[in-house]
Amino acid sequence: MNSKARMKLKIKDKVLSVKFQLKHKMLSLKDAKRKQLAMDYITHIVVKSGSRVLFEFQPSMFVSKNPIFKFKVKQKELKLNDVLEITWTSYLGKTERFSKIIERVE
Amino acid sequence: MKRRSFIYLSALSTLSFSSFIYADENQSLDPWRAVTVDEVINAFYGKRKIIDGKGKIVLIAPKLASNSGAIPITIRSDIETKRILVLQDSTTFSLIGIFDVPKDALVDYMLKTKTEASALRIVILLESTNGKIYKIDKSIEVAMGGGCEG
């Protein structure tokens, strides 16, 4: 995965389905000790469209490396060319963002 | 008589004080540092009634996971949900994560967890918008040699 994240979006039958993957080592306490690195994992993930929160998750250090998530929300006001933005914060305090446009509505 | 009632009263006050400390300890327990599933449940919900979620929550996970570094877990439900706790009993700390379910979201989530153990039990706690708590669990065997890289 070259990019820091990737995301697939699909609106079908008035439901938005999202699958996304974040690029992160998700180093747990044990892994960090073993690799002699600082413990670092994602502690908060939010997916938004404008001000509407679509997905919110607080992972622990026991979520897999380069974590993948799937979720579904009702379409409501979401339409073609709307932007979805993922924001994630790590244990070491680094915040990153990734956004994608809804390109297809079936 | 006075002496006897004094002893009785002091014993009673010591007992209630210790139970107060115990309750306070439970409330201040950090769920992220809780070792067992029961400790996490206690930290979040105390002694609230937990309903069996069979038939109301669908938990999809493999019976035998081939890769211990990425074990897929899918959670589905029709219940209007406020929060979902994902727990397991094989790692140092029990909590895998917390989904804060927004309004208009459908309860259909997938995530991947990791473990170093050869078997684990996934526990899902679903808190509905009307305050009811549902619980469901599933045991998973992990194939040897799968490796937990993460």
* Domain regions of chain A by residue span: 5-101
Chain A closest-CA separation from residue B18 CA (Å) = 32
Q: How many domains does chain B have?
A: 1
pTM of the model: 0.84
Confidence of residue B143 (pLDDT cuts 50, 70, 90): confident
Interface test with A, best of B113, B122, B123, B124 (most A CBs within 10 A): B113
φ/ψ of residue B14, rounded to 5: -60, -45
Residue A64 and residue B113: Cβ atoms within 8 Å?
yes
pLDDT tens digit sequence for A15-60: 999 999 999 999 998 889 999 999 999 999 999 999 999 999 999 9
β-strand partners of A72: A17, B106
A60 interfacial to chain B (CB closer than 8 Å): yes
* For range A72-97, the mean pLDDT: 93
The band of B150, judged by pLDDT with boundaries at 50, 70 and 90, is very low
ipTM here:
0.92
Tell me the C-alpha distance between B56 and B146, whole Å: 32
Which of B32, B73, B80, B104 should one mutate to test binding to chain A, selecting the residue with the greatest count of A CBs within 10 A? B104
| Domain limits for position B110 | 2-142
* CATH architecture, range A5-101: Sandwich (2.60)
What number is the average pLDDT over the span B59-82?
A: 94
CATH of the domain at B71: 2.60.40.2470
Q: Which amino acid is it at B114? A: K
Residue B76 has pLDDT above 50, yes or no: yes
